[in-house]
Structure 1
């Protein structure tokens, strides 16, 4: 038993059946559409969006509609005629409506329901169905109102036959309803919110008994679900879970939320939030994308399945309740004392609500100010003696030992510490620069990242002073959960190649090709010999007749057409004028030079525009260079690879995926995770996908030598595979790598290395779609059952060691799993997976494959599945002793066996309707 707001919750042992369905109500801004797809009855406030996102219009979302009363903020309020008004609801300041009026019903049909239907809503949550009782006291008058409401609902059902409804109460309307009603909801079964008292209050027993009986009768008489909407403070998450469990004992779907209904609440099915708010400040670089929070902070967050949302500390922060919507807040400041009083107050509100908060670099509140004590900070005098460590977490000194001289950084202590990570003492003074706390955790300079040469800053010199994965996981109090993984599919590491078009017209020095464009060398010596899925881009300004080399254009375009005719090559644009600095180029469209130097290629009489750079160059490739049936799929960002949001928007609106950016160049001479970057960065409503690693320009010191330097990318591939698989294998290079003997030899060596690995080939566009799916994938838990839903592009979940592999006989959409260094990978068969229980050692499953599952079905006596890839198939099945694998009626024999795993090979790239039949 537990007490919640004066209410005694008793999880009784009486017989009951928990509902299979789940409902969610969200009326706040920034509707979490993807998360809501995991619910059977998701209800939203339509005024907070322009409509259901097009990608989700195959799901029924229920739009909130108030029928019995209307607020002045509604767009149709001005159309309400005086004779349609019954009175005023003083509690909410709304107008009570007379639903006996046919004209009012017509207005609702045309001005409310029809627009919502056009916006993609296929369901409606009808509120205030009993508001007429506030103004009409006689039974005959009330019956007229009920008949008017029923007439309107039936009219909507007639106009839109696929429409579905949820009622808020309105039990008495059901005998008159012919439209499809899915559920009846009611507020306050156990706990209510009293706005006049601004307090939560237990519901009287008599009211609860009446409501439970009304729920029971509606289920039995009309076959509709019952939904209870109860209220609890966002900080009382555990109490809300207990309340939801108690409601479910009555066969009622629970939803426990805050009074404003602007948080992701709690039901028996609960979303595990993946979004994390990253707030940065104090960056003095030329663009915000170079802030430490982006350069260093993205990787440890994204690797653990989190989806960063990035804001500068001076920007407006998200409104509403963040608890349940966000996994936490990370504030990474590069300067001290830059948080405004408004930001501090906002952060205190989030702390009160129980949102995990992480402070990195410098404190996000003035530790000696009025809010410092709320976070447990206490000031200390600067040390007079050399400080020494008296307590150090095992994750400290991660990539370099702590310095012999132990600076205290901020002279602070914290009284709300749960786990000290680094405690220093100087005389009688104690300092704590790194710790886990009641509210999250913090790590202050200089114990985050330090240079191996303290007086020198530069790439490759920085080292993590703490393990960023452990620190972020502990500080954000992350639960053990399945982690979407973009590096792997069906247990094998992804592999692709992509080419930036720079140097397409450059003349080669390679033997046998002297004086020929290096693009020809790339075609003959690389692309024709290594049939790896490869995304090749060109710069229109280099190849077109109107570009910089009109005399070479015919030859260059001929080579490009040969390249794009290859089956294993997809087309991308590397823009029109190759902007070197995207923000500066866009801000100074007619200038060739800016503060950073040359801004783009010197194409005469050209004013830079994102539309021309991206969409225009893609159209040039489509119209002049591609064979029938092919279209340009991507834009590979040029220059500093920091595109503006406007350029990203142009790409998205023209159906182009995008990639490039960041600098993952970890090597054995610079073995630091500071050189492993994230998978991409959000820019407002747009998203830039980062390249998994860098090209030969970095390994050859910006093409100054040694020209065989690209060999070292193999070190990057190896160091991003172990101890963790951070990245896929991406052979990323420029066309000009084929211009010199040494650089060409290094590229061929890299391809030869890759061919010896056990990899899963894909195109760069496939990878980019996985990254975008990573951002939208939603995960929920319901007891020991997991529910995961995405778009179907990302097909791998990484399981922490604390979570068992599923019982495949009690799963849906799970094809198998593979446990092998460096991870435990769960294979998804499509866009949704549901599983529970622990591994069943007898169930057959797909253990690994180098191709995508195009279909998968578990059968009582085995499996039926199809595979399609980009090279000869290699796959393995487990737990198949006593089974036969057939294709087109013929038995396929395994090529080898490893323990209980049977390996199969085929020269074909795809096999349809493989049938595994088992006798056991």
Structure 2
């Protein structure tokens, strides 16, 4: 049930001090780490609200709403979506529950239990019962039946609606006064019963007095400049007289009690520019704005405007939330370029008729259709039409049908063009990876239309043409082989267009900062992990030592790089498939996991090669080489169980291989690395991270982005995180030779770093790679190459966490200029395309510095919230952290002093740029060596893995 609309008519500064009583109690609670009722603190500490959102829908965009300081939610929808909604949004966003005090609709859970005689009227517009505020039992009913369940659920702030409904039943001044006094008394009772309760009032100007004011966060009113008339169903301007009346009421509250005002206006979803202008007008009037469509199921504009990062990615697989999605072109090819631009693909089957709640504008950056089938069902066509109507960019790739193209004003012909066909790439168009071969049977006459930029055309012998790829006024398209071309002879695939540039133009990508998982403090992230296969193999060298011994002695204990190691229980257990080597294998595993720089993971119990087949789950995808391997290892007496594979293996490894206090925290997908939903759910339920699948094998002989996989794939609402790089199998033809082939991974490392940084640096292998002399040499070569690069070493678990944080990160424009960036703590790196203006470190907040690489500027955050402001002229007026091989764990910037603490996994290496007059204080005593580099950059090095730096300014 969507609550009734705000029933309002319509000056405080955008930031304001809270009333002293409320601010004091909140400060005490913040200091104690508890909420105002003594429970663990889950809500935002009492702080000035600068931005505010109202969202009443059931499909709640939690991540986007976390950009705002406060959000009003319909509690029944919010708690159904997530019972821990308040904690989920805290501490950055204060969740407020919608509560109607003047009226009760029949859909409310307490509607049937209203006190006898409390209902005195009916509001036919909203089919609601009007309450007599003077009823003796009403205050207790509000406290016990309405507020108490919400308080128990964690809400501490409430948006109180229908406060003026008593005007419908109170016809005299005396009657209205009695109703208002009774309503005020109800609110005071809530103050006394629920310590620290806070109210956002929907109008109710007459209710606020000195006693109530300390609990009032703000007072809201709708229709200050733009309004919606539900009778005529039209938007329009608000008359000046109505606006002046509201502004006077807001001014009275501000002058008397210092209470802020909130202006709520309405604009059509397609009128995004008008929404921004209206929000600015409301802000200029001294109010916090919220401008949206009237159902309040959209992401509107406040003092910030969330920049949509989600893209609806439509595909043709009806089982799109299962392993079958992995084979869809939308996933294999479409997701990577979207992710490069900072977009989060939201996969959706073309035949899904479930409506997307609310307007698409403001919530989605685009709608991309990539179908591997020519038929496009009506649900997908309707969604694309809606997006176009609302000004949301649309992109069409893959197979398509004429009806869909006609929806976009294109007029495809009926007959194929006569051959031979000559494909032409138009001048000044970015080059793709190949100029595709187009058969006459794959053509029809087609013109891109007015205002379009044609990228590829197929020219027939009679002069007719098919514009196969183009950027259009509504987005863009690249049909069939004009998008991705399958090379003859099953030799792979190539992009016919530059996918990064194609999506940039088609989706109207701006220069907004976006979160980044490839980089840490300006340096390419680097981590190592290995699947446990071959731990008990023998090496081809004198004495035939176990692979486990050689890998540990000659690599892991030598390079001492943070690494994720794993074990397959069936290969290492005495009850497994290799009992004769189990004791030695376990000894070497214990030595491995005892190392402080090794984190522990499970590579499953029986190493399922095809988990779907092993578990007996139905799927249309092809089993992984079942005749050679079987679905999983033939463990004596073992009956396959997902619970055993995940929880059982984790428990066994912890009990038999790990030192006390160390947990098996990661799961490394085995076999075809395409687990079913149930397996992914089990891993998350066990509290483990996960990795594997995907990868990258781009090389100079196959320089294609078709060989670079995206970040991961959704499985049942959870995320399977792919490995950034492929292991030796893909370079050695499944370990059949050439065994030195793994050395070519260096080409992949380089091509995923330039001309664009697509992936972090990831050394991923199986232990058996060292069983062969050529393989052993290749692993040394790769490891040494990686450590010779300017990298920032991390653990695989940190990468996993950063990918999940990347999905949740929020970018928002600020009305006062600049950007607001928010992300969970696992992500501290942002990037912005060049040549965008450089940050002004003096005026930005939560930003330590930046550097530039491969067409991007990498921004180093030191807080979960960053306010990024830029300067038209770059002036080095503040110290700038250029890059570091360690994390910033403390950053305290003052006018003339800066204190920074770093923590890494080896000797510290940090680069700074500081203005004239600044210097490092007590560098030698803190263990730092300093040397000057070109361009005014200083390098600071320490033999320690943790250290602090103090910079100070001395005039003259």
Alignment TM-score, normalising by the size of structure 2:
0.89
Q: 1:353 aligns with which of 355, 365, 390?
A: 390
CA contact (8 A) 2:418 2:440 kept: no
Offset at residue 542 of structure 1 (A):
1.6
Secondary structure class of the residue paired with 1:196: coil
Alignment map for 1:540-555 (pairs within 5 Å): 540-555=569-584
Aligned to 1:420: 454
Offset at residue 150 of structure 1 (A):
2.3
Hey, what's the Cα distance between the residues in 2 that align with 1:298 and 1:888?
Answer: 47
Q: Deviations over 1:94-113 (max 9, x none)?
A: 22122333433323323332
Secondary structure class of the residue paired with 2:120: strand
Offset at residue 272 of structure 1 (A):
0.6
Is residue 656 from structure 1 mapped to residue 691 from structure 2 by the alignment?
no
Q: 1:91 aligns with which of 125, 145, 156?
A: 125
Offset at residue 902 of structure 1 (A):
0.4
Q: 1:749 aligns with which of 762, 772, 781?
A: 781
CA contact (8 A) 2:448 2:454 kept: no
Alignment map for 1:131-210 (pairs within 5 Å): 131-175=165-209, 177=212, 180-210=215-245
Hey, what's the Cα distance between the residues in 1 that align with 2:302 and 2:595?
Answer: 53
Q: Deviations over 1:604-663 (max 9, x none)?
A: 343333322112211212222111231112111111111222222222222211111113
Is residue 279 from structure 1 mapped to residue 335 from structure 2 by the alignment?
no
Gaps of 5+ in 1: 1-14
Q: 1:305 aligns with which of 333, 342, 347?
A: 342
Is residue 812 from structure 1 mapped to residue 811 from structure 2 by the alignment?
no
Hey, what's the Cα distance between the residues in 2 that align with 1:607 and 1:299?
Answer: 38
Hey, what's the Cα distance between the residues in 2 that align with 1:649 and 1:918?
Answer: 57
Alignment map for 1:460-475 (pairs within 5 Å): 461-475=492-506
- The more displaced of 805-814 and 112-121 is 112-121
Offset at residue 406 of structure 1 (A):
7.5
Offset at residue 409 of structure 1 (A):
3.2
CA contact (8 A) 2:50 2:303 kept: no
Go from structure 1 to structure 2 and tell me whether the alpha carbon gap of 1:180 and 1:671 turns closer, same or farther (over 3 Å shift): same
Hey, what's the Cα distance between the residues in 2 that align with 1:229 and 1:608?
Answer: 57
Is residue 327 from structure 1 mapped to residue 327 from structure 2 by the alignment?
no
Is residue 910 from structure 1 mapped to residue 910 from structure 2 by the alignment?
no
Secondary structure class of the residue paired with 1:398: coil
Is residue 567 from structure 1 mapped to residue 596 from structure 2 by the alignment?
yes
Secondary structure class of the residue paired with 1:799: strand
Secondary structure class of the residue paired with 2:551: helix
Secondary structure class of the residue paired with 2:264: strand
Hey, what's the Cα distance between the residues in 1 that align with 2:552 and 2:943?
Answer: 24
CA contact (8 A) 1:191 1:230 kept: yes
Go from structure 1 to structure 2 and tell me whether the alpha carbon gap of 1:379 and 1:196 turns closer, same or farther (over 3 Å shift): farther
Hey, what's the Cα distance between the residues in 2 that align with 1:861 and 1:432?
Answer: 61
CA contact (8 A) 1:283 1:291 kept: no
- The more displaced of 69-78 and 654-663 is 69-78
Offset at residue 915 of structure 1 (A):
4.1
Secondary structure class of the residue paired with 1:826: strand
CA contact (8 A) 2:115 2:137 kept: no
Hey, what's the Cα distance between the residues in 2 that align with 1:373 and 1:35?
Answer: 31
Secondary structure class of the residue paired with 1:618: helix
CA contact (8 A) 2:164 2:204 kept: yes
Offset at residue 74 of structure 1 (A):
1.9
Aligned to 1:232: 267
Hey, what's the Cα distance between the residues in 2 that align with 1:811 and 1:826?
Answer: 11
Offset at residue 67 of structure 1 (A):
1.4
Aligned to 1:797: 830
CA contact (8 A) 2:213 2:259 kept: no
Q: 2:158 aligns with which of 109, 112, 124?
A: 124
Secondary structure class of the residue paired with 1:144: helix
Offset at residue 408 of structure 1 (A):
5.8
- The more displaced of 529-538 and 91-100 is 91-100
CA contact (8 A) 1:393 1:420 kept: no
Aligned to 2:374: 336
Aligned to 2:559: 530
Offset at residue 310 of structure 1 (A):
0.9
Go from structure 1 to structure 2 and tell me whether the alpha carbon gap of 1:177 and 1:318 turns closer, same or farther (over 3 Å shift): same
Secondary structure class of the residue paired with 2:57: coil
CA contact (8 A) 2:396 2:477 kept: yes
Hey, what's the Cα distance between the residues in 2 that align with 1:812 and 1:917?
Answer: 20
Secondary structure class of the residue paired with 1:318: coil
Hey, what's the Cα distance between the residues in 2 that align with 1:217 and 1:53?
Answer: 32
Aligned residues: 893
Secondary structure class of the residue paired with 2:308: coil
Q: 2:655 aligns with which of 606, 623, 639?
A: 623
Offset at residue 284 of structure 1 (A):
11
Hey, what's the Cα distance between the residues in 2 that align with 1:268 and 1:877?
Answer: 34
Secondary structure class of the residue paired with 1:185: strand
Secondary structure class of the residue paired with 2:883: strand
Alignment TM-score, normalising by the size of structure 1:
0.93
Is residue 219 from structure 1 mapped to residue 254 from structure 2 by the alignment?
yes
Alignment map for 1:362-373 (pairs within 5 Å): 362-363=399-400, 366-368=401-403, 372-373=406-407
Offset at residue 179 of structure 1 (A):
5.3
Alignment map for 1:835-874 (pairs within 5 Å): 835-838=868-871, 839-874=874-909
Go from structure 1 to structure 2 and tell me whether the alpha carbon gap of 1:297 and 1:102 turns closer, same or farther (over 3 Å shift): farther
Q: 1:606 aligns with which of 621, 633, 638?
A: 638
Secondary structure class of the residue paired with 2:178: helix
Offset at residue 397 of structure 1 (A):
4.4
Aligned to 1:256: 291
CA contact (8 A) 2:438 2:481 kept: no
Go from structure 1 to structure 2 and tell me whether the alpha carbon gap of 1:416 and 1:31 turns closer, same or farther (over 3 Å shift): farther
Offset at residue 792 of structure 1 (A):
1.9
Hey, what's the Cα distance between the residues in 2 that align with 1:583 and 1:105?
Answer: 57
Aligned to 2:277: 242
- The more displaced of 563-572 and 47-56 is 47-56
CA contact (8 A) 1:63 1:121 kept: yes
Gaps of 5+ in 2: 1-10, 16-48
CA contact (8 A) 2:86 2:95 kept: no
Aligned to 1:494: 525
CA contact (8 A) 1:16 1:249 kept: no
CA contact (8 A) 2:213 2:257 kept: no
Q: Deviations over 1:715-739 (max 9, x none)?
A: 1101111101111111100121122
Offset at residue 117 of structure 1 (A):
2.5
CA contact (8 A) 1:43 1:62 kept: yes
Hey, what's the Cα distance between the residues in 2 that align with 1:696 and 1:102?
Answer: 77
Give me the CA root mean square deviation: 2.5
Offset at residue 821 of structure 1 (A):
4.0
Secondary structure class of the residue paired with 1:25: strand
Go from structure 1 to structure 2 and tell me whether the alpha carbon gap of 1:96 and 1:404 turns closer, same or farther (over 3 Å shift): closer
- The more displaced of 728-737 and 341-350 is 341-350
Offset at residue 428 of structure 1 (A):
6.0
Secondary structure class of the residue paired with 1:47: helix
Q: Deviations over 1:201-230 (max 9, x none)?
A: 322221111011111111121211111111
Go from structure 1 to structure 2 and tell me whether the alpha carbon gap of 1:154 and 1:840 turns closer, same or farther (over 3 Å shift): farther
Q: Deviations over 1:287-316 (max 9, x none)?
A: 122211111111101111111111221233
Secondary structure class of the residue paired with 2:775: helix
CA contact (8 A) 1:408 1:433 kept: no
Alignment map for 1:345-494 (pairs within 5 Å): 345-363=382-400, 366-368=401-403, 372-379=406-413, 381-384=415-418, 386-388=420-422, 392=426, 394-395=428-429, 397-403=431-437, 409-415=443-449, 417-426=451-460, 427=462, 429-453=464-488, 456-458=489-491, 461-494=492-525
Hey, what's the Cα distance between the residues in 1 that align with 2:589 and 2:424?
Answer: 65
- The more displaced of 909-918 and 39-48 is 909-918
